[in-house]
Amino acid sequence: MSLRNKVTLIGYTGKEVEIVNFESGSVKASVSLATSDHYTNAKGEKVEETQWHNLIAFGKTAEIFQKYVSKGKEIAIEGKLTYRSYDDKDGVKRYITEIKVDEILLLGGK
């Protein structure tokens, strides 16, 4: 087991899962995940800070996302950071950071 590139997050999905079915028969799932931290600032006020993460999953994990995950669902995931780039329609290079999910745990009931 390698700890070189490992991410564990617990949060809520921000949209419905997007599914792509490839000609080869494989499946890709994409969804955003919100995680929140709470702290007290120097004025004694409670502050909530939310971070958004792009998740992707393939194969059986993608099928679990497709069947059981909907907008607002609380989940725990484990995976690794991935980076990619592409040229947009105007020819500008864009960079994306994603988490490739290897394991998912459904939380929050229902």
What are the domain boundaries of the chain? 7-106
Residues contacting residue 51 through CB under 8 Å, at least 6 positions apart: 34, 35, 36, 37
Across the range 63-86, mean pLDDT stands at 95
pLDDT confidence tier of residue 13, bands split at 50, 70 and 90: very high
Domain covering 7-106: architecture:
Beta Barrel (2.40)
Across the range 66-91, mean pLDDT stands at 94
pLDDT confidence tier of residue 1, bands split at 50, 70 and 90: low
Across the range 66-89, mean pLDDT stands at 94
Annotate 57-81 with b (16+ C-beta within 10 A) or e (fewer).
Answer: bbeebbebbeeebeeebbbebebee
Per the listing, tokens 């955003």 go with 32
Across the range 89-106, mean pLDDT stands at 95
Distance CA 30, CA 76 (A): 15
